[in-house]
Amino acid sequence: MESVRNSQSSRSVQPPERILEKVRGLLAKAESTEFPAEAEALTAKAQELMARHCIEQAMLDDRAPGARARPTSIRVVIDAPHASAKVQLLQAVAGANGCRTIWSQHERVAHTFGFADDLAAVELLFTSLLVQATVAVHRAGPQRDQFGRVRTASFRRSFLLAFAVGVGQRLREAADAMAAEMSATTGTDLVPVLGRRKAEVEAAVQEAFPSTRRMTYSTANADGWRAGRASAAQADLGGAGGFGRLSA
């Protein structure tokens, strides 16, 4: 997976290096541990650090709307195999962090829009979760059905799709919990604050890609789907054919 920043429209400031270093360290430990519970705790802490910073930045920006940065975008090259399933994971991570991903299938590039601090969280978490998912799906080994026919490819694709769905749900829950906690702590109603940021991100998407269609996928391997959901439940937080650009 290769990530390339779009420098043309970026006026945003990256999160402080001290926060990024802490997050990178937590995710590196999460990827290297053999214990799922430890990995989950480490990635959850990484997600918490990034979410807290992003919400604090959103609150600061809302107090000075004339000076705040505009949404920007990054390009993420999605490699085969199972590119559509990997895009689903990126879309899930992006959506939970206030960003939006557009998949350009013929280019094999996912364009993710958002504010710089949110995009930094997406890049770090997506990369880590993709590593975790890849390790887990290969750990399952080759697969055959009851008749002895090889079903490894369909198993792995369904596994990755289910992993993306499960992780996306957990990330959204974590983001909502952090927003509720900070709203109670600061006495600030974050719904309109975060809503305005979401609207600005959507406007940037529409300006760049005025015509999109929703990405669809199907699961062909029930065993892979069940295994992927189980793996997503343990992950630390830390299918489409055709042509054109697909929208999350």
The structure tokens listed for 71 are 């949404």
What is the mean pLDDT of the segment spanning 78-92?
Answer: 90
Rounded to two decimals, what is the model's pTM? 0.74
pLDDT tens, residue by residue, 101-141: 999 888 889 999 999 999 999 999 999 988 888 887 777 66
98 band by pLDDT with thresholds 50, 70 and 90: very high
Q: Is the peptide bond before 15 cis (omega within 30 degrees of 0)?
A: no
CA 53, CA 189: separation in Å to the nearest integer? 17
- At residue 133, the pLDDT reads 82
- pLDDT, residue 61, reads 83
Do residues 64 and 108 touch, judged by C-beta distance below 8 A? Answer: no
- pLDDT tens by residue, 189-244: 998 888 999 999 999 999 999 887 776 555 555 555 556 556 656 554 542 222 23
pLDDT 10s digits, 25-41: 988 888 888 776 777 77
Query: Residue 245 and residue 212: Cα distance in Å, rounded?
Result: 6
pLDDT at 7: 36
**Burial class, 167, CB count within 10 angstroms (exposed 0-12 / middle 13-18 / buried 19+):** buried
Q: What is the DSSP string of 6-67?
A: --SS----PPPHHHHHHHHHHHHHHHH-S-HHHHHHHHHHHHHHHHHHHHHHHHHHHH-TTT
Supply the pLDDT for residue 38: 78
pLDDT at 12 over 50: no
The phi, psi pair for 32, rounded to 5°, reads -95, -20
For residues 156 and 120, what is the distance between their CA atoms, to the nearest angstrom? 28
Model pLDDT, residue 103: 92
Angle between helices 152-186 and 222-234 in degrees, nearest 10: 30
Res. 15 pLDDT band, cuts 50 70 90: confident
Tell me what pLDDT residue 36 has: 67
pLDDT of residue 1: 45
Strands 2-5 and 72-77: antiparallel
Condensed to tens digits (0 to 9), the pLDDT of residues 134-162 reads 887 777 666 556 655 546 677 788 888 88
Q: Say what the pLDDT of residue 4 is.
A: 46
Residues 22, 28, 32, 34: is their CA dihedral positive or negative? positive
Q: What are the residue ranges spanned by the domains of the chain?
A: 2-247
- Does an H or E element contain 124, and which? helix 116-139
The answer to whether residue 96 scores a pLDDT higher than 60 is: yes
Residue 58 makes CB contacts below 8 A (sequence gap 6+) with: 115, 190, 193, 194, 197
